[in-house]
Amino acid sequence: MTLGQKIAWDDTVLPFQLDKSDIRGRVARLDGVLHGILKQHDYPPAVEALVAEMALLTALIGQTIELRWKLSLQVQTDGPVRMIATDYYGPTEKGEPARIRAYASFDKDRITDEAPFDQLGKGYFAVMIDQGEGMKPYQGISALAGGSISASAEGYFAQSEQLPTRFALRIGKSIEPGIGEHWRAGGVMLQHMPKASPFASGEGGSGEDGLLTASDLLQDDDEENWNRANILLSSVEEIELIGPTVTPDQLLVRLFHEEGPRVYDAQSVTFGCTCSEDRVRQSLSIYSAKDIETMTNEDGRVTADCQFCSSHYDLDPKTVGFQAEKSAE
C-alpha cells in the first residue's frame, strides 16, 4: 500500500447502530486526508499528532451534520500549542465526499519532548455548527480535561448535549517503501441514543472539576448496556483501527457481534479548502483605501496566506477595499 494506492475504506466514515444496546456510532479511517492536511505545514511531531487527532474527531463528529452544513472544532489554550482549528464541510449533494481542513498555531520555542496533550496547557474545546445563510450558528464550549482532546470531546457531549459519548482513537505513522513515513488514523465513536437525562440541573458531575460524565447521564439497563459496549470497545487493538487488513464492518463484527451491529452507507471524506482570491477580496471589502495602504508591503502589494492550505494571494491594492468595490460598480 502507498499513498497512491488507496485502500477502499481509507478516508471514510461508516455509521452504525448496536440494536441490542440502543447505541449508535461511527468508524473512521483517515490516510490521504491527513497527508493533505499535514503536508501544507512543517509541524513538529507533537503538533502533527494533535492536528491528526482533531481531524479524526472532526470526521467522526461531522458525519452527522446535514448536506451543505459546516462543522468547526477548535481548541484554544495558554500552552505552546495556542490553537487547533478544523472545519468539516458537509457534502453539497448525496454521494459526494465531505471535506476536512485543519491547522494549528503554536510557539515553536515552547514545544517540549513531553506528550502531545501536554503541549496544550489550560484551555477549552469548542464545537460550532453553521447551518447556512439565515440560520443562527450553534456554539458549545467545554473545558480541556481528561488527558486528551478526545476525552475533552467526550466531556463536551456530556456537558452541552447530555449525550454519553466515547471515543477510541489511534494515530500513528506508517512506513512504506519509497515514500517514507506518513500519518494514519482510525477511530470508533459510541453514543447512547438520546433520552431524557436523569441528571438534575445544578448538581455537580462525577468527572474532573465536577464535570458530567456518561455515568451521570444513564440509569439501570441503559448504564449496563453502555458499560458493556465500552468494555468491548476497550478491547480494540491498534492494528485493527489503523492497519490495512481489517475493514470497518469486520471490525464491528469483531467487537460487537453480540450487540447486533447494523451498518449504514459510508461517507467518504477528502482534504479540501474553501479559500480563493474572491474570498480574500470579499474579506478586504470592508476596508477603506487608507486602511488598505497600511496593509501594503514594501513591494506595493497586498498579500494574504491561507492558514489551512498555505495558498498565497498577491493583490494590487488599487483593486481591493470597499472603494475599489464601489468604483467597479
User: What is the structure's pLDDT at 253?
Assistant: 95
Q: Which helix (H) or strand (E) holds 306?
A: none
Residues 157 and 86 in one domain: yes
Residues 322 and 204 reside in one and the same domain: no
Residue 140 lies in a domain: yes
* Number of structural domains found in the chain: 2
User: Do residues 183 and 35 touch, judged by C-beta distance below 8 A?
Assistant: yes
Clarify whether residues 96 and 226 are in a common domain: yes
Both 311 and 195 in a single domain?
no
pLDDT means per 10 residues, the chain with 329 residues, are: 61 94 94 91 94 97 89 96 96 93 95 95 95 86 94 93 94 73 92 66 62 70 92 95 92 94 94 81 80 85 80 83 57
Asked whether residue 5 is assigned to any structural domain, the reply reads no
Where a domain ends, among 255, 271, 287?
271
Residue 198 is assigned to a structural domain of this protein: yes
User: Does residue 1 lie within any of the structural domains?
Assistant: no
Amino acid at 32: G
- What pLDDT score does 3 carry? 45
223 burial via Cβ count (<10 Å: 0-12, 13-18, 19+): middle
Strand extents, DSSP E, the chain: 12-18, 23-30, 70-77, 81-89, 98-106, 123-130, 138-143, 165-176, 180-192, 261-263, 267-271, 302-305, 312-315
Whole-number pLDDT of residue 154: 95
Enumerate the β-bridge partners of residue 70. 89, 130
Q: Which residue, 253, 271, 289, sits at the end of a domain?
A: 271
Whether residue 207 contacts residue 33, with contact meaning beta carbons closer than 8 Å, is answered with no
* CA 272 – CA 94 distance, rounded (Å): 17
Q: Are residues 199 and 316 in the same domain?
A: no
Domain C-terminal end among 271, 286, 316: 271
**pLDDT number for residue 285:** 79
Q: Residues 152, 217: one domain?
A: yes
Answer whether residue 2 is part of any domain.
no
Residues 6 or more apart whose Cβ sits within 8 Å of residue 202? none
Position 129 in a domain: yes
Residues 47 and 176 in one domain: yes
- Is residue 247 located within the same domain as residue 100? yes
CATH number (domain holding residue 313): 3.90.1280.10
Q: Are residues 146 and 267 in the same domain?
A: yes
110 and 139 belong to one structural domain: yes
Who's near 76: CB < 8 A, 6+ residues apart? 82, 83, 123, 124, 126
Q: Distance between the two ends of the chain, CA-based, in angstroms?
A: 54
Per-residue model confidence (pLDDT) at position 217: 74
Instruction: Residue 258: give its domain's CATH number.
Output: 3.55.30.10
- Rounded distance between C-alpha atoms, residue 55 and residue 259, angstroms: 28
Q: Are residues 324 and 257 in the same domain?
A: no
Q: Is residue 52 part of a domain?
A: yes
* 291 in the same domain as 246: no
Q: To which residue does cell 447486533 refer?
A: 260
For residue 235, give the 3-state DSSP assignment: coil
Q: Which domain holds residue 316?
A: 277-328
Q: For residue 162, what are the CA distances in angstroms to 158, 200, 211, 235?
A: 4, 11, 11, 26
- Give the pLDDT score at 145: 92
Q: Is residue 3 in a domain? A: no
